[in-house]
Amino acid sequence: MVSPARRVSRLCRSPNLALAAFVAASHAFGGLLFLARRGEFGLPLGWSAQFLALLAVSLGLSLAAVLSPRGSVRAVSSLVLAFLCYLLLGFPLPVSSGIQLVLGLPLMIESAALLRKPASFLAGLGIVASTVLVKRADLAWGRPVEQAAPEQLALFAFVLLLVFAVSLSLWELEASRRRALGEIERLDRAIGRLSDINAAFQDALVSADEDFSLLERNRITREIHDIIGYALTNQQMMLEAAFLLTDEKEERLRELLGMARATVADGLRDARRALYELRQGEAAHEDLGFGVLVKVARNFQSVTGVQVTVDFTNARGEIPRGAWLTLYRLVQESMINSFRHGDAKNIAITLREDKEALYVNVRDDGRGAANVIEGIGLKGMRERAEALGGELRAGNASDGFLVSARLPKDQGRREDRESD
């Protein structure tokens, strides 16, 4: 929420507000000049009131143009009407009075500030040409007027054009400054989005770690079920057979066998129930790796607006547990670098595998890099890949930047054997 004090501060720094103040000051100074020298112009007595009324209308139109959005219909129409008022105000006055120059300067600055190219050029030239042509008239309102010398008209036109050129240059600098500030704000928003993406990545990785633990627990329950379940079932069957072979007279032996049979049956039932409870939720995580990767890509796309495609080609998901974390980190860091440094609009993630390794490519359509300097992120990706016995390459591609990695499957099989 922007505070009122900050809004006032922004308004005071606005170039449009400064231009509005200059326009008001110019009209006020022009009015004072006219009142001080009106006796020299030989105009009718009633013209003074008309001049001041027309000056007030010109001021209102100029302020309306300045306070309107640049290039809008209101700004253009107000500027055109202000120009007509300017011609009417200056038509009966000699160039030597200086009033036309005082009123023409803000008009030239407004043309440079409020109109877009090439309309601003045409407006500036049109104002100068119209003024020069009007000043070549012999009569104004039926009275003779002082003819301006050619050098006076040339100087007058030169001053107006010089002010127009300087104003146009300054306004272009101001526009560049505003674009730079807009870019800074965009980068600030991008940093905020990246923070959100990073938090989403962390959540996904925490979820992945939990799911890996669940998969390991399910593997253990399978082993226990296969070993204990087989042994207890065999014991139950043998006790059942022994119970049938005993003589009915051997009551104590039959009693013991019955108790043993019941105990084994209860233990087998309890063991199966406990293992079933441990294995709950296994089916929901059978596609753990691919599901998390697609979720990460969708979150990144929704937050940044960068289009992300994921193509698994021939990858079937038979990826070692030890390689998944490295894969997630590699994709995460590559997408963030494409967005932050490459200004990419599209990112393509491709996975494929053969009997020995998993291959991953992250390609973007950004601007690439003249010299690839490995920072913490890229070094971290390389170290993770090499820790698994793999390798990583990063560099410019034909249409952007490419990060590719090879993650061997042997490492995952060794980890499985060690955990067994």
Q: What is the per-residue pLDDT for 168?
A: 81
DSSP state letter for 148 = P
DSSP state letter for 230 = H
CA–CA dist 316, 409 (Å, integer): 13
Amino acid at 194: L
Q: Which two tokens stand for residue 3?
A: 């505070």
Give the Cβ contact number of residue 401 at 10 Å. Answer: 24
CA–CA dist 144, 267 (Å, integer): 125
Q: What is the per-residue pLDDT for 193?
A: 78
- Whether the model pTM is above 0.75: no
CA–CA dist 420, 416 (Å, integer): 6
Q: Which two tokens stand for residue 61?
A: 């139109």
Determine the length of the chain.
420
CA–CA dist 121, 255 (Å, integer): 113
DSSP state letter for 402 = E
Which residue in this structure is represented by tokens 């002010």?
Answer: 163
Q: Which two tokens stand for residue 313?
A: 């080609």
CA–CA dist 239, 242 (Å, integer): 5
Please report the sign of the dihedral spanned by the C-alpha atoms of residue 169, residue 170, residue 171, residue 173.
positive
Q: What is the per-residue pLDDT for 146?
A: 67
Q: What is the per-residue pLDDT for 296?
A: 80
Strand partners, 405: 360, 392
List, run by run, the mean pLDDT of 10-residue segments along the chain (420 residues).
47 68 89 84 77 89 86 86 85 78 86 80 80 64 66 81 83 80 82 75 67 68 63 67 68 70 67 64 48 80 84 79 79 84 89 89 86 77 87 88 88 44
For 106-130, give one letter per residue: b (16+ CB within 10 A) or e.
Answer: bbbbbbbbbbeeeebeebbeebbee
Which is nearest to 61 in space by CA: 99, 27, 101? 27
Q: What is the per-residue pLDDT for 107?
A: 85
CA–CA dist 384, 378 (Å, integer): 10
Q: Which two tokens stand for residue 30?
A: 């022009």
DSSP codes, 277-294: HHTTTSGGGTTHHHHHHH
Cβ neighbours for 291, distance < 8 A, ≥ 6 positions apart? none
